[in-house]
């Protein structure tokens, strides 16, 4: 089954304790991205990657890191989490450019993170 | 300026009625795509419908249709014959240009369908 998986689905942690949220897709997609969703703000992009070893900042990258060592995986790293990073996080993937603005984006199930 | 504006924080509709969720967008790129996603209380993002800027006809997918008015830069989602399971948050999103451009989301509209 074609899917994007994220782990963990739920996480409660404390300020300053490094954490990683994993994301994996089995569709051989080139493009992967991370979003955070906060009430009243919709989804905002944190980082994206156009292919292996190619990453770039989205709209809200502060406090986050990513890596893309393999095509299927795109982990999100919070080196020193703070309470304002409490949010719902989504990983997404889609095919690379095909000369179309389409290319449906597939979302993972989300990771609900609470930083105390 | 916001690229995607959803002016209705919440909407109420009775079962079996039609409902329109508003979305306006702002772009100077002639090539763009507009998407609608549904997010039920379980949290997952479900793709509903897509409209390309060059598409001549309004997109339709089952009970969902997109009322695309290019000159007014609006892309309203119409849900016909609402069902209780349509209660969810709905997001409008836009991708400008081609290739690897970002998908930008609006703030969402919460739809509640009552019996």
- For the stretch A69-79, pLDDT in tens is 999 999 999 99
| Number of Cβ atoms within 10 Å of the Cβ of A111 | 23
Asked whether B3 and B12 are in contact (CB, 8 A), the reply is no
What percent of chain A is helix, strand and coil (3-state, nearest 5)? 5, 50, 45
Residues of chain B with Cβ-Cβ distance to A41 below 8 Å are: 107
- Which A positions 44-73 lie with beta carbon below 8 A of chain B? 44-45, 48, 50, 58-59
How far A24 CA sits from the closest chain B CA (Å)? Answer: 16
Pairing of strands B10-14, B109-114: parallel
Of the candidate ranges A31-35, B21-25, B94-98, the one whose mean pLDDT is the lowest: B94-98
Residues of chain A with Cβ-Cβ distance to B95 below 8 Å are: 101
Q: Do B44 and A58 touch (CB under 8 A)?
A: no
Q: Do A96 and B95 touch (CB under 8 A)?
A: no
Beta carbons within 8 Å of A108's beta carbon, 6+ residues apart: A3, A4, A5, A6, A23, A90, A91, A92
Q: Is the pLDDT of residue A49 over 60?
A: yes
State residue A1's pLDDT score: 85
Between B96 and A13, the higher pLDDT residue: A13
The residue of chain A nearest to residue B103, with distances taken between CA atoms, is A45
Average pLDDT over residues A84-91: 97
State residue A105's pLDDT score: 82
Q: Is-cis flag, bond preceding B99, omega within 30?
A: no
Residues of chain A with Cβ-Cβ distance to B33 below 8 Å are: 100-102
Termini Cα distance of chain A: 36
- For the stretch B2-34, pLDDT in tens is 799 999 999 999 999 999 999 999 999 998 999
Asked whether B37 and A35 are in contact (CB, 8 A), the reply is no
Asked whether B52 and B33 are in contact (CB, 8 A), the reply is yes
Q: Do B100 and A48 touch (CB under 8 A)?
A: yes
């Amino acid at each position: 089954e074609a899917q994007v998986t994220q782990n963990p689905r739920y996480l409660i942690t404390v300020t300053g304790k490094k954490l990683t949220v994993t994301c994996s897709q089995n569709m051989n997609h080139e493009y992967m991205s991370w979003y955070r969703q906060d009430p009243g703000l919709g989804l905002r992009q944190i980082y994206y990657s156009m292919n292996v070893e190619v990453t770039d900042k989205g709209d809200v990258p502060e406090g986050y890191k990513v890596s893309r060592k393999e095509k299927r995986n795109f982990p999100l790293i919070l080196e020193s989490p703070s309470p304002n990073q409490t949010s719902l996080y989504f990983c997404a993937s889609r095919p690379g450019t095909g000369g179309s603005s389409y290319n449906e984006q597939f979302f993972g199930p989300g990771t609900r993170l609470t930083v105390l | 300026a916001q690229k995607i504006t959803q002016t209705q924080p919440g909407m109420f509709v009775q079962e079996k009625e039609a409902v329109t969720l508003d979305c306006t967008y702002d772009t100077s790129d002639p090539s763009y795509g507009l998407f609608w996603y549904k997010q039920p209380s379980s949290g997952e993002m479900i793709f509903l419908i897509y409209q390309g800027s060059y598409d001549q006809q309004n997109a339709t997918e089952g009970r969902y249709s997109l009322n695309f008015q290019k000159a007014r830069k609006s892309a309203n989602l119409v849900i016909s014959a609402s069902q209780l399971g349509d209660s969810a948050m709905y997001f409008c999103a836009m991708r400008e240009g081609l290739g690897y451009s970002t998908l930008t989301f609006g703030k969402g509209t919460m739809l509640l369908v009552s019996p």
